[in-house]
Amino acid sequence: MIKILCFLRRKDGMTLAEFKAYYENNHAPLIKRLLPFYDSYKRNFAAEVQNYATGHIDNKAAGARDFDVVTELTFSSQENYQKMIDALSDPVIGGEIARDEENIFDRDDIRVFLVEECE
């Protein structure tokens, strides 16, 4: 399995509620339509209130967060992952996605990581 994590921040001036609504109602359907090669596509939105406090750590998440969502995409094969890479490299498909990203993300701060998942 191949997994990527995307750390994404909303555009300046957009509330978290507006960001989540746009992502779920516009951007996610676009990705599902143009990049249907994944096995799973999950969006993990940071909660607006960060009150995780257990006593065993001094949680600094509230002031330190530099992302609003962590998006996970998994692929069952290198072939399906490569299909996504090829689609994103296509000027038509990649261009349409980039134009939509301009509506929602701080594109200068998009970070994508290939990760190895362990259980």
73 forms bridges with which residues in the sheet? 4, 41
Count of domains forming the chain:
1
Does residue 57 belong to any structural domain of this protein?
A: no
Domain at 20, CATH number: 3.30.70.100
The stretch 59-68 carries a mean pLDDT of 70
Residue 53 belongs to a domain: no
pTM over 0.75: yes
Please check whether residue 94 lies inside any domain of the structure: yes
Query: Is 56 part of any domain?
Result: no
Confidence of residue 65 (pLDDT cuts 50, 70, 90): confident
d(CA 86, CA 37): 11
pLDDT of 59 > 70? The answer is: no
**Is residue 28 a part of any domain in this protein?**
yes
- Whether 55 is in a domain gets the answer no
Q: Could you read off the pLDDT of 7-49 as tens digits, one per residue?
A: 999 999 999 999 999 999 999 999 999 999 999 999 999 887 6
Whole-number Å distance between alpha carbons of 47 and 12:
18
Query: Which residue segment(s) compose the domain that 22 sits in?
Result: 2-46+62-115
